[in-house]
Amino acid sequence: MPDETITVEPVSAALWPELQEVFGERGDPSGCWCQWFKLSGAAFRETTTEARAERLHESLDHDPPPGVVAWIDGEPVGWAAVEPYSSYPGLARSPITKRVGDDPADPWAVTCFVVRLEYRKRGVARALLQGAIDYALSRGATIVEGYPVDPGVRPSLSNAERYHGTVSLFDSAGFRLVRRPSTIRAIMRYEAEH
């Protein structure tokens, strides 16, 4: 496995079947379809799983597309959601991720990672994060944020609770810690070199 090549590319409408494969039919991704930060809590609860999937499907035609897909040997293995902060109304409502002080108004935000179970612990999340950074910068971003959890503070965090990514993952990609709005959550920021 060390010689595996992981490639990452922006999602497109043509990749919908591959994205469906990544999200699968069981577990949290197959129920959320990266709509948690896109909808209010009430709207999320009132929206069926099929409707959430359709919302993601429809967003693949938007400009910019809402994320990146990772591949190993032609097999779709992971997804990271990354768009401007303003694309995620839920971020502004959350006490964890709302703008404070001199925060940039509309950085790009990496909100979610999905890695197929059989491809975990192979560097897919790291490749997805770098792909998300590269994608955001190619679209004109100068700042990329993440909102990871810190298993160093609470090692019992489940895989489902790690969908934001981890502090160590973001740290390894050059993000700096901005603040800790809770014991286990961090706001981390990557700033492009000018």
**Does the structure show a pLDDT above 60 at 1?**
no
Mean pLDDT across 141-166 = 90
Pairwise CA distance, residues 178 & 186, whole Å: 7
Pairwise CA distance, residues 137 & 165, whole Å: 19
Mean pLDDT across 44-56 = 93
What integer pLDDT is reported at residue 107 of this predicted model? 97
What integer pLDDT is reported at residue 3 of this predicted model? 59
Domains of the chain: 6-191 (3.40.630.30)
CB neighbours of residue 132 within 10 Å: 30
% the chain with pLDDT above 90: 81
Pairwise CA distance, residues 36 & 164, whole Å: 12
Pick from 11-15, 149-153, 157-161: least confident: 157-161
Beta pairing class for 143-146 and 108-115: parallel
- Report the chain's mean pLDDT, rounded to a whole number: 92
Mean pLDDT across 24-37 = 88
**Does the structure show a pLDDT above 70 at 62?**
yes
> Which of the four pLDDT bands, split at 50, 70 and 90, describes residue 2?
low
